[in-house]
Structure 1
Amino acid sequence: MSGFHEVRFPLRLALGVSGGPVRRTDIVNLSNGRENRNARWRNARRAYDAGSGIKSLADLYEVLAFFEARMGQLYGFRFRDPLDWKSCPPHAALSATDQVIGTGDGVQRSFQLVKIYGDAGGASRRTIAKPIGPSVVVSVNGQAVAGDRFTCDATTGLVTFAAHAVPPAGAVIRAGFEFDVPVRFDTDRIDINLTAFNAGRIPAIPIQEILP
């Protein structure tokens, strides 16, 4: 991912940020009163407002300094979604069997981390490109894999098994992990008015997910 800094937006401030997934759907109203719906985006893109996490002048300066270091929209960075940041629900314990990431064929060694959101009506598959490396745990057919038998690239989310530990044909590979969202600022300008800030008006600082 070009133009990306492997640094995280201050976690303390991210906990107060508002936002979530955004989808783009075209809706055509037909003459008979029905409608056709088509997804313009295959995957959702997360959008956030960093301004909502700012509670003090010190917070405002910290975000300003981070914005300057990223040169506005130029460089992407890591962001922890306050609600969706691991392979399981936020109230659950992470497990090596959380998400299916592939099926072995006896030859393939590398598998991409993914997270599935679904129910009986349908499902959406999300590529996880910015895992927290030390958090990644893996299982093959339900059996935990020792940490020396695989590696995980924290900059791409690619899990690679050692040459002597290739999953056999038909084996189900699962993983558990924590992760960040790759994002960038969605503006090259931050308007700061200290008089308005002291009166409780927080500047809008939009952040946009970058799809891998």
Structure 2
Amino acid sequence: MGFHDVRFPVALSFGASGGPERRCEIVTLANGFEERNSPWAHARRRYDAGLGLRALEDVETVMGFFEARRGPLFGFRWKDWLDFRSAPAARPVGPLDQQIGFGDDTTTAFQLVKRYGDGPSPYLRPIVKPIAGSVRVAVGGDEIGPGEGVEVDHATGTVRFAVPPAMGEIVTAGFEFDVPARFDTETLSGSVAGFRAGTVPEIPVVEIRL
């Protein structure tokens, strides 16, 4: 699957609408009870970044980005302004935000994840496109600084340790992240609405699996 490690212009994605989509199969039984099953382990997010009345330069930027991706052929990074951090909106990102694993004296690679919900069955979302320079990692509550034996693959969201964390130590991380996405259309339709202004009413974008 083709992917370009570039970001949709963040100033133009601000204000986009969208969110997670879940696929669920529901069968109503003869006694009125239901059986529910989901073929998807993970949600897929959809967005609409349609531009209202904007400067022609903004419309040109979107059209150029669409052409450079060959429409839906190549994926790209997308900033979801409603959900792009490991921490709640009220506080800054910190190294204790999300638990990503336990040490076992053997494992050196851990996948970044974000936890949704409390209780016995939270949803763990794999984070595969963290923002370079934003990831902070801790083991046993102690932050590990850059150059201290930990590396982050910003193309996959994998955290690698030079020395495996000790048995039972909690591995945590904080980060900002993008969504891997593509255009969900083969056509962008725009118009010139006035002097040096234009519109692109719909720009559908959908999350992709990598």
Q: TM-score, normalised by structure 2?
A: 0.91
CA contact (8 A) 1:140 1:174 kept: yes
CA contact (8 A) 2:71 2:183 kept: yes
Unaligned runs of 5+ in 1: none
* Percentage identity across paired residues of the two chains: 49
**Between Structure 1 and Structure 2, which shows a larger proportion of strand residues?**
2
CA contact (8 A) 1:18 1:52 kept: no
- Aligned equivalent of 2:15: 16
- 1:123 is aligned to 2:122: yes
- Aligned equivalent of 2:99: 100
Moved more, 61-70 or 47-56: 47-56
- Aligned equivalent of 1:178: 176
Q: TM-score, normalised by structure 1?
A: 0.90
SS at match of 2:182: strand
Unaligned runs of 5+ in 2: none
Shift of 1:195: 5.1
- Aligned equivalent of 1:190: 188
**Between Structure 1 and Structure 2, which shows a larger proportion of helix residues?**
1
CA deviations 1:137-168 (Å, max 9, x no partner) are 10001111121121101101011112xx3211
SS at match of 2:54: coil
What is the alpha-carbon distance in structure 1 between the residues aligned to residue 14 and residue 189 of structure 2? 22
What is the alpha-carbon distance in structure 1 between the residues aligned to residue 204 and residue 81 of structure 2? 16
CA deviations 1:168-189 (Å, max 9, x no partner) are 1111100001101000111111
How many residue pairs end up in the alignment? 208
Shift of 1:122: 2.7
Q: 1:9 to 1:66 in 2, by over 3 A?
A: same
Q: CA RMSD in A?
A: 2.1
SS at match of 2:87: coil
The correspondence of residues 1-212 of structure 1 with structure 2, limited to 5 A, is: 2-52=1-51, 55-120=54-119, 122-148=121-147, 149-162=149-162, 165-194=163-192, 202-212=200-210
SS at match of 1:133: coil
> In the alignment, residue 180 of structure 1 is paired with which amino acid?
D
